[in-house]
Each structure stands twice: as structure tokens, then as C-alpha cells.
Amino acid sequence: MTYIPVAAMQLGPDEEAAVLEVLRSGRLAQGPQVEAFEDGLASLTGSRFAVATSSGTAALFLTLKSLGIGPGDEVITTPMTFIATANSIAHTGATIVFADIDDSLNLSPAMVETLITGRTRAIVPVHLHGNPCDMSALRALGERHGIPVIQDACQAIGATIDGRSLGTFGTQVYSFYATKNLTCGEGGAVLTDDDEVARYCRSIRHQAYVPGKPYLHDAVGHNFRLTELQAAIGNVQLTKLDAITTARRENAAYFDRHIDDRSFVRPVVRPTDRHVYHQYIVRVTESSGLGRDDVRDALHEAGIGSAVHYPVAITQQPPYRSLEASCPLAEAAADDMISLPVHPGVTAADRERIVDALAGLAQAAA
């Protein structure tokens, strides 16, 4: 019986050939691969400008800095995300304000509204697990209060809302970390229609260079550059993204049809949105009589990998506990969520094994 891993990269001979080509070209940084990757990302997301970076963390940090955010400002975000979202905000010196989630596991627009103050400078929703947030509500809120909404789309490349790409809803940041739907090992990008955001991010990622003036620097910058090797992998991955997303969505649709939602409840997904299933989540209900960690152990025994994204809400993480924020819904989700294997390497037979294993557990507990 083969073990079904919870994540598996989709890399092959095309990526290998692309990397070799870059190695042989002798140009390893700031060349045509990065430019082509940026063009590809801009057209995929429907944004005017793309700035590739060394990570999603760098992309989010740069975007917030481009808006002039710093000490004394407040940024509202979700506590149910990878900690990098919060860290990117913290590094600007701004104060993080955590708003609780709703049944989609994404930031609740109603909760955000109660937390807006005169010092709020940005709202950072996260399309968690690839499931788009309620961007219409969040954007309306932002517009009403004159606050930019920056999408952390690190897990949601290729997602759409009402048939529209995420670029329609403003600036987004992406991560191309090893397990992401589209990967180049490490990497990130800022996608925006705002030419000042793009100009700032492009300059600061490369030590605040001044275009056309070699070795002149007009601010204190960073090295947040993506390499040609990484971009070459990204360019191949872009050609495969549709097939990758389709495979993930097919696996997810099978789980939706066959997993008993009395024992394993799924986050709410709006039917008009294209969830890209970076993760497929079930929540182990109290009425199932099952414990989340026992379910994971039993799956492991049955040769099925799983994970928890995320086992601790950021409100409860050591660096952020002193904020004394309370988000009970996020904290409850951290205790009952499981991520199941949904990647394109999951076969029809694997899907059946996963569904049967869960059904067996639910029956035994009933």
C-alpha cells in the first residue's frame, strides 16, 4: 500500500530543462526569465504591474511599506493564516489588529467593521487554503472608510470571484514556496494596478536602485530579488497551472460528494467562486464523537497523510499573545481542522481510500 502524502510537488523534465537552460546561459539574476514571469503573472491575475520577489513575506512587507505604513498605524488581518501574514505587518512597525473569521475560515467583514479606527491604514484578508474571501464586502468597507485592502493571495493563485480574477479586486501578493499550487522553490510577487506601489516595490526589492542611474540608491533598500533559476521554473509552472488547478478541483469535488458532512464539516465556499484548493479542509464535528488528532493518527495508520493548517491561531502564538486579542472562532477552528491530500498526484484510487477511511472512522464512532 503506497502512502498518500498531504503535499507533492508537480515538477518534471520541463522544469529541469528550463533550469539547465538558465545555467548554461550564464545569466542567473535580473534577466529575461524574471521579466517573462512577471508578464505571465500580470496576465493571469488581470493586474497591470507585477513585481517578482524572493518570497511572499517580502512581497507583503514591501506592499505595506509602499503605502507608507509604519509605527502608530493599525492593520487589520485574520488570525487564521500562516504566521508570515502577521510577521510581514509586524516588521513595518504597525500594530496588528486581529478580526475573527466566519464559516469560510476567512476574515469576517462584519468583524473587520467593528475594529476600524482612525488609525487603520490597511485591511489584509487572506484567501485561506485557496478559498476566496468576500472581497465585495471587504472592498466596500475599505472604500467607505478610505482604507486600502491588500489581498494575501499566497495560497490562491488562479482563484476567481464571480468569474473575475483577483486583480479585479486590487493589489494581491503571492508566494511560490515549495508546496504552493505554483512553485519555484521559494519566491513571491506583488500584483497591482497602482503604479506607485509597483514603482516602490520594484525599487526597494533591489536596494532602492534608481532606474537608469547605475549604483545610485535613493533610499535604504533590501535584497528581495527572485533569481532567473527560480523564475524559469515559475514560467514552466505557469503553463501547467490550469491543469494543476483542474486536478485539485476534481479531487475536491469528489470529496464534497462523498465525505459525510455530519462528521466532517467543510468550510463554506461561495458557488460563484473558483476555489483553487491549495488545501482541502474538513472540520471534525463534536457530534461525530471523534477527536481531530485521533482521526489524523488513524489516517496515518491507513497510509494517508494529513496536516493542520493551522494548529494555533496567531492570537495564541508566543510573539502575538501580548496583543491579548480574542478570536474564539479562529481558535476553535485550529482545534478541529484537518487538511487532506488534494494535490494532482492524488489518484482516483487514492480518493476512494481517503473517503473510505473517513467513512469507517465515522461509522465506528457512531
Ligand X SMILES: Cc1ncc(COP(=O)(O)O)c(C=O)c1O
- As to burial, measured by CB atoms within 10 angstroms (0-12 exposed, 13-18 middle, 19+ buried), residue 212 is exposed
Instruction: Give, as ranges, the residues between 273 and 332 that touch ligand X (CB under 6 A).
Output: none
Is residue 55 part of the contact set for ligand X (CB under 6 A)? yes
Residues 100, 78: Cα–Cα separation, whole Å: 6
Residue that is written with C-alpha cell 455530519 in the block: 262
DSSP 107-166: BPHHHHHHH--TTEEEEE-B-GGG----HHHHHHHHHHHT--B-EE-TT-TT-EETTEEG
Chain-centroid distance, C-alpha 62? 16
For the beta carbon of residue 362, count every other beta carbon within 10 angstroms.
Answer: 20
Residues 111, 127: Cα–Cα separation, whole Å: 16
Of 6, 42, 47, 56, which one interacts with ligand X (CB under 6 A)?
56
Contact range with ligand X by CB under 6 A, out of 42-50, 77-85, 207-215, 219-227: 77-85
Contact 146, 256 (CB under 8 A): no
Minimum CB distance to ligand X smaller for 190 or for 358: 190
> How many Cα atoms are found within 13 Å in the side-chain-facing hemisphere of 363?
7
The least CB distance from residue 40 to ligand X, in Å, is: 18
Of 45, 63, 155, 339, which one interacts with ligand X (CB under 6 A)?
155
Site string for ligand X, 156-195 (x = CB under 6 A): -------------------x-x----------x-------
Is residue 142 part of the contact set for ligand X (CB under 6 A)? no
The least CB distance from residue 82 to ligand X, in Å, is: 4
Collapse the DSSP code of 101 into the 3-class scheme (helix H, G, I; strand E, B; otherwise coil) and give the result: strand
Backbone φ, ψ for residue 76 (5° rounding): -95, 130
Count residues near ligand X (CB under 6 A).
Answer: 14
Contact range with ligand X by CB under 6 A, out of 31-39, 78-86, 193-201, 254-262: 78-86
- As to burial, measured by CB atoms within 10 angstroms (0-12 exposed, 13-18 middle, 19+ buried), residue 91 is middle
The least CB distance from residue 105 to ligand X, in Å, is: 12
Is residue 230 part of the contact set for ligand X (CB under 6 A)? no
Minimum CB distance to ligand X smaller for 123 or for 357: 123
Is residue 57 part of the contact set for ligand X (CB under 6 A)? yes
Minimum CB distance to ligand X smaller for 33 or for 85: 85
DSSP 69-98: --TT-EEEE-SSS-THHHHHHHTTTPEEEE
The least CB distance from residue 361 to ligand X, in Å, is: 28
Contact range with ligand X by CB under 6 A, out of 70-78, 147-155, 196-204, 285-293: 147-155
Contact range with ligand X by CB under 6 A, out of 49-57, 321-329, 333-341, 344-352: 49-57
Is residue 126 part of the contact set for ligand X (CB under 6 A)? yes
The least CB distance from residue 235 to ligand X, in Å, is: 18
Is residue 45 part of the contact set for ligand X (CB under 6 A)? no
Residues 107, 133: Cα–Cα separation, whole Å: 7
Cα-based angle 84, 62, 125 (whole degrees, multiple of 5): 50
Residues 229, 37: Cα–Cα separation, whole Å: 11
Of 37, 61, 82, 98, which one interacts with ligand X (CB under 6 A)?
82
Question: Taking CB positions, which residue lies at the least distance from ligand X?
Answer: 56
Minimum CB distance to ligand X smaller for 81 or for 288: 81
Is residue 105 part of the contact set for ligand X (CB under 6 A)? no
Residues 20, 13: Cα–Cα separation, whole Å: 10
User: Of the residues 65, 180, 213, 240, which is catalytic?
Assistant: 180
**Angle, in degrees to the nearest 10, between helices 292-301 and 348-365:** 130
Respond yes or no: is residue 180 known to be catalytic. yes
Which residues have a catalytic role annotated? 180
* Contacting positions for ligand X (CB under 6 A): 55-57, 81-82, 84-85, 126, 152, 154-155, 175, 177, 188
